[in-house]
Structure 1
Amino acid sequence: MTGPTQPEPPALAAATAMFIEVLVIGIGALTAAVLLLIALIGPTTTAKLAPVAGSSAATGAALAAAYALGILIDRAADAALTLRRRQLRTRYFASNTAYAQARLRLADVPALAARADYARSRMRICRGWTLNTLILTLSADLAMVRYSFEHRPLILCTFTVLGLATTLGFYRSWRALTETGYRKLAEQTTTPTVTPPVPTQTQPSSGAS
């Protein structure tokens, strides 16, 4: 009696990469949520809850929350950038059908498909962190406003400027990766039109035999 069929290595690798990708996005969202909570409850309550945060149960809950938030942020960022993504796609594909057909043709070439998957993974991380860095900047600003420390105005302004600059950097990276992905997909799946050579005609000899 044969045992259950094991998943193919490429499928398992893709699932692992997707899990890590969502987790990377979710960690940023969870950090922003913690900063927002700290800003809301204040320093006294934060000091009381600090020992609980280091427990094993809290670590497991944080991992689960990070994964769930990663899915949420990924979908929210995708929705926010949908219009821009469609504008970039129309530069290389006339319709969604043409794009889907190109994806199917690329899947027939495993090496090119693997490179495209890696590029899309980087694109999704940049897309998620575009929203992450914006939320992190706002939540960190709220937390710094709530707490008293030296040079707070300078640190607050510096962190805000750096946060907004990082947000812009992630957005520009997402846009560049997205446009490059569409361009390469169009180049790799477009069937070149080859003009058949015109046969040369033998000139009749001028002399009579």
Structure 2
Amino acid sequence: MTQPPQPEPSGAVAATAMFVEVLVVGIGFLTGLGILATAIAGPHAGHRLVPLLGTPLAAGAALAFAYALGILIDRAADLILAPLRRKLRRQSFTTSGAYAQARLNLAEVPALAARADYARSRLRICRGWILDSVLLTLATDVALARYPVQNRPALLVTTTLLGSAIAVGFYLSWHTITATGYRKLALQTAPAPALPAQPATSASPSP
């Protein structure tokens, strides 16, 4: 009799999710770099580079570089947002020790820990794509300025406004997820209030 497949260990799932998050952030930033490099090179050089970028070797190298770049961008975004992150954390936890203890307590409840991991996954993507959105907007503006296109002023304004709105949207999403995560963690790991002592009942008099 064939045994049912065993569930994948949570550690492997977390590692896979983190790999995907870093790759998503890295691909976005690498795309922005590619657009910027093509814009700086100009139309003639850009047309010569396109066939080279379509080779399997270039695709594999780009994927590896995107992953490494994603790690760098994730750390850079976390460093930039660290002061605000600490400010949001202080609204729910007075000390770093209290926050660390709350994380330990949450890890003892698998269902809550899984939800927290999912929230952190969204958080990492949002904070990385803040920088990705800024680079993609700037790179696209440079490309529009370098390449011959119709309605260039309108396209530049549209690209800048849309890119700025997307960057702000990712920032607001990061802010909301971070603040909500700290509040939920504080509520989920708060000690249960002590029940008031019940007054002792006097024995009923004998009839």
- Any gaps of 5 or more consecutive residues in structure 2? 1-7
Instruction: Determine helix, strand or coil for the equivalent of 1:150.
Output: coil
Residues 172 and 201 (structure 1 numbering): CA distance in 2 closer, same or farther, change over 3 Å? same
d(CA) in 2 for partners of 1:30, 1:119: 25
1:141-160 → structure 2 map (5 Å cutoff):
141-160=141-160
d(CA) in 2 for partners of 1:173, 1:89: 16
Instruction: Determine helix, strand or coil for the equivalent of 1:81.
Output: helix
Name the counterpart of 2:5.
none
Instruction: Determine helix, strand or coil for the equivalent of 2:191.
Output: coil
Name the counterpart of 2:37.
37
Name the counterpart of 2:110.
110
Name the counterpart of 1:183.
183
C-alpha RMSD of matched pairs (Å):
1.5
Deviation sequence 1:156-182 (CA, Å, 0-9, x none): 110100000000000000000000100
Instruction: Determine helix, strand or coil for the equivalent of 2:42.
Output: helix
d(CA) in 1 for partners of 2:78, 2:135: 15
Letter in 2 for 1:197: A
d(CA) in 2 for partners of 1:82, 1:148: 41
TM-score scaled by length of structure 1: 0.92
d(CA) in 1 for partners of 2:51, 2:141: 24
Name the counterpart of 1:86.
86
d(CA) in 2 for partners of 1:51, 1:131: 28
Aligned length, in residue pairs? 200
Q: CA deviation at 1:33?
A: 0.5
Letter in 1 for 2:121: S
Report which of the two structures shows the higher radius of gyration computed on alpha carbons.
1
d(CA) in 2 for partners of 1:114, 1:203: 51
Instruction: Determine helix, strand or coil for the equivalent of 2:75.
Output: helix
> Which piece of structure 1 moves more, 168-177 or 141-150?
141-150
Deviation sequence 1:18-68 (CA, Å, 0-9, x none): 100000101110011001101111110111111111100010011011101
Letter in 2 for 1:135: L
- Any gaps of 5 or more consecutive residues in structure 1? 1-7
Q: CA deviation at 1:199?
A: 2.0
d(CA) in 2 for partners of 1:13, 1:204: 62
- The alignment-based identity, stated in percent, is 56
Q: CA deviation at 1:201?
A: 3.5
Q: CA deviation at 1:204?
A: 7.7
Letter in 2 for 1:168: V
Answering whether residue 199 of structure 2 is matched by residue 168 of structure 1, we say no
TM-score scaled by length of structure 2: 0.93
Q: CA deviation at 1:148?
A: 1.2
d(CA) in 2 for partners of 1:50, 1:180: 44
d(CA) in 2 for partners of 1:11, 1:192: 30
d(CA) in 2 for partners of 1:64, 1:188: 39
Deviation sequence 1:80-133 (CA, Å, 0-9, x none): 101110110000001111101100000000110011000000011001101110
